[in-house]
């Protein structure tokens, strides 16, 4: 257990569906992240939130919509996805911008998404 | 942007063997982490090591920041060590981890 939980663990959806991924951290951190891991590609950062404010959008298509209502929760809303969006989606958290450089990231178990 | 290269890409060992995994990065970094990804996809933190040497049981790591590389040592390997090992760096203290392509380790009994 890393202190970061994700639900659901597996998700199968059609291209016209709307679904949401949820991440919760129990570490008292202030920064949260979404990463994408596709087959045979390195993990790619998607979004960063610091103190509930989005500080990074790594050129992610608008069919992925993040939401961070508080420092403990992070959502990724999905709509009209494509089959190539099938991947493992990982959430992470860290102390964030006030950590003074000690900004170790901790990851959740991931949601394995399949888009049909 | 910064490049992170890991070697070897694949490693096959018999139980009990030792191994060294390498991570090279192309620019100065403020943060470097080593992870183990198990077969279920979970990333497990091994070391937070922007510089120096750390040890945790059978694992140890060394980062030489001035020469832009880090090494992960696994001694007396076990089948449970199998999985993919990732190095990730934060080059500008911006909370953005850049991952290497990983080393896939298989340990056989």
Q: Do B95 and A88 touch (CB under 8 A)?
A: no
pLDDT of A98 higher than 60: no
- Work out the average pLDDT over A1-28: 94
Q: Which of B65, B67, B77 is nearest to B20 (CA)?
A: B77
Q: Which of B95, B99, B102, B104 is best to mutate for the A interface (most A CBs within 10 A)? A: B95
> Which run of H or E residues covers position B107?
strand B103-108
Nearest CB to B100; choose among A42, A103, A107: A42
Q: What is the pLDDT of residue A102?
A: 64
Nearest alpha-carbon partner for B6 in B19, B59, B17, B16: B19
State chain B's mean pLDDT as an integer. 94
Q: Enumerate residues 6+ apart whose C-beta is below 8 A from B18.
A: B73, B74, B75, B76, B77
Closest-CA residue of A relative to B97 is A45
Res B37: pLDDT: 95
Tokens of B34: 């080593």
3-class SS of residue A29:
coil
The whole-number pLDDT of residue A70 equals 93
Q: Could you read off the pLDDT of B29-43 as tens digits, one per residue?
A: 888 999 999 988 999
Do the Cβ atoms of A56 and B102 come within 8 Å?
no
Q: Cα separation of B35 and B56, whole Å?
A: 13
Q: B33 and A110 in contact by Cβ < 8 A?
A: no
What pLDDT tens digit does each residue of chain B (109 aa) get? 889 999 999 999 999 999 999 999 999 888 899 999 998 899 999 999 999 999 999 999 999 999 999 999 999 999 999 999 999 998 876 778 999 999 999 999 9
Rounded Cα–Cα distance for residues A65 and A84 (Å): 17
Averaged pLDDT, A36-40 = 90
């Amino acid at each position: 257990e890393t202190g970061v939980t994700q639900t659901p663990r597996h998700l199968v959806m059609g291209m016209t569906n709307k679904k949401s991924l949820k991440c919760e951290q129990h570490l008292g951190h202030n920064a949260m992240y979404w990463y994408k891991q596709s087959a045979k590609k390195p993990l790619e950062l998607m979004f960063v939130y610091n103190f509930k404010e989005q500080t990074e959008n790594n050129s992610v298509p608008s069919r992925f919509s993040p939401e961070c209502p508080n420092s403990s929760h992070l959502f990724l809303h999905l709509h009209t996805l494509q089959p190539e969006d099938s991947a493992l989606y990982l959430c992470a958290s860290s102390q964030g911008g006030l950590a003074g450089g000690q900004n170790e990231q901790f990851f959740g178990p991931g949601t394995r998404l399949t888009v049909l | 942007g910064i490049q992170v290269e890991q070697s070897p890409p694949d490693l096959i060992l018999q139980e009990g063997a030792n191994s060294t995994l390498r991570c090279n990065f192309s620019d100065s970094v403020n943060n470097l982490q080593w992870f183990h990804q198990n077969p279920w996809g979970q990333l497990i933190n091994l070391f937070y090591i922007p510089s120096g040497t750390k040890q945790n049981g059978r694992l140890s790591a060394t980062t030489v920041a001035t020469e832009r590389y880090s090494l992960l040592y696994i001694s007396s390997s076990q089948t449970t060590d199998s999985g993919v090992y990732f190095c990730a760096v934060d080059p500008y203290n911006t909370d953005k981890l850049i991952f290497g392509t990983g080393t896939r380790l298989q340990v056989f009994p």
